[in-house]
Amino acid sequence: MNPNNGEIYALASAPDFDLNNFSQEEDNAVFANHAISDRYEPGSTMKVVTGAAALEEKLYTPESSFILPGVIKVGGWPIHDSHERGTEEFSFKTIITHSSNIGAATIAKKLGKKALYSYIEKFGLLRPTGIELPGEARGDVPAVKDWSASSLATISFGQGISVTPIEMASVYSEIAN
């Protein structure tokens, strides 16, 4: 994807099929373009949206420092990073580059539900991209009024929402731009 204008340079989907014998294909799923039609939880790739929102709102700088425990409880649920660790100091930049769930949740707490949702919307995750191919799905992000006590934290690191691969490619293209 061209980060300057969103032009798609290449798009692939698997499994593929033989164009010479496509009428004999029994599994219609092979005709789907999974990059535009399938939704998934974006996981850690969503942290860039949380981080960009906090930077844009001038809540933190890349050098901002955080003391992060190994586990936090949000809405009664434990949140931890992918690797067990004790309390450590992280910079904002390290939270993003080392993919800290606890760090993303901490950033999101200061950002707030309405602001995070607003940036999710600004990055285009609430509407189809408009790619000129049939079958485009759009992501699913619950309205703020439907968020649970833990939604702000989990959405900040890409759980509890769904997006398409083309939507996330578009987000990263905007960041690159």
**3 state SS of 5:** coil
Using CB atoms within 10 Å of the CB of residue 96, give its burial: 0 to 12 exposed, 13 to 18 middle, 19+ buried. buried
CA dihedral angle for residue 146, residue 151, residue 156, residue 160, rounded to 10 degrees: -80
Q: Which residue has the tokens 């904002």?
A: 92
Distance in angstroms (rounded) separating the CA atoms of residues 84 and 69: 10
Distance in angstroms (rounded) separating the CA atoms of residues 139 and 144: 15
Which one of the listed residues 23, 37, 44, 151 is annotated catalytic? 44
CA dihedral angle for residue 98, residue 167, residue 74, residue 108, rounded to 10 degrees: 70
**3 state SS of 52:** helix
Catalytic residue list contains 65 = no
User: Which residue numbers are catalytic?
Assistant: 44
